[in-house]
């Protein structure tokens, strides 16, 4: 599991951790049931305080991404991936609608928009 932390980011460190673990789980990099490092070990590896990793893990547990067993460690919880994907898809639809509305306002054609999307997607 790779986690990259920026000390200069506006995003709090615990959020950086939760977001990165979440995306590792959603991308399938961390499969269901996989063990993740203990919060103390992670704190040591990232050279940050224990309370920060503790908070990150607590948030992940609350959101149902991981679960912890005392004395055993923390594991990736069973994910209803279909459900999460559906929710994400809905968000994407909404965002795209906004994009289309904006495009119409300035008279951007569908072809041009697709081209723009292609370029951005490839990046």
Partner 1 sequence: MENVVEFNNVTKRFKDFSVKNIDLQIQRGFVHGFIGANGAGKSTTIKMMMNLLQPDAGEVKVFGMDYKTHEKAIKERIGFVYDANVFFENLNLKDIKRIVAPAYKHWDNTLFTQYVEQFELPLNKSIKNFSKGMQMKASLAIALSHHAELIIMDEPTAGLDPIFRRELLGVLQELMLDGNRTIFFSTHITTDLNRIADYIAFINRGQLVFNDSIHDITENYALVKGRTEFLDRDTEKAFVHINRLSTGFEALTENVSSVKRTFGDSVVVEHATLEDIMFHLKGGLQHV
CA angle in degrees (0–180, nearest 5) for 59-46-84: 35
Q: Does 57 bind partner 1 (CB under 8 A)?
A: no
CA angle in degrees (0–180, nearest 5) for 113-118-123: 130
Q: Does 62 bind partner 1 (CB under 8 A)?
A: no
Cα 34 to Cα 6: distance, rounded to the nearest angstrom: 26
Among 17, 25, 55, 57, binds partner 1 (CB under 8 A): 55
Least Cβ distance, residue 45 to partner 1 (angstroms): 9
Q: Are 65 and 77 in contact (CB under 8 A)?
A: yes
Footprint of partner 1 on residues 2-41 (CB under 8 A)?
12, 14, 38, 40-41
Contact footprint for partner 1 (CB under 8 A): 12, 14, 38, 40-41, 43-44, 47-52, 55
């Amino acid at each position: 599991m790779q986690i990259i932390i920026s000390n200069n980011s506006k995003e709090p460190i615990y959020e950086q951790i939760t977001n990165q673990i979440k995306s590792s789980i959603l991308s399938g990099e961390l499969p269901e049931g996989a063990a993740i490092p203990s919060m103390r070990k992670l704190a040591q590896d990232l050279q940050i305080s224990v309370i920060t990793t503790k908070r990150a893990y607590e948030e992940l547990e609350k959101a149902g991404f991981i679960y912890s067993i005392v004395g055993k460690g923390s594991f990736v919880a069973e994910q209803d991936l279909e459900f999460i994907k559906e929710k994400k898809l809905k968000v994407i639809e909404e965002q795209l609608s906004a994009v289309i509305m904006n495009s119409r306002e300035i008279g951007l054609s569908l072809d041009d928009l697709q081209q723009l999307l292609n370029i951005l997607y490839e990046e």
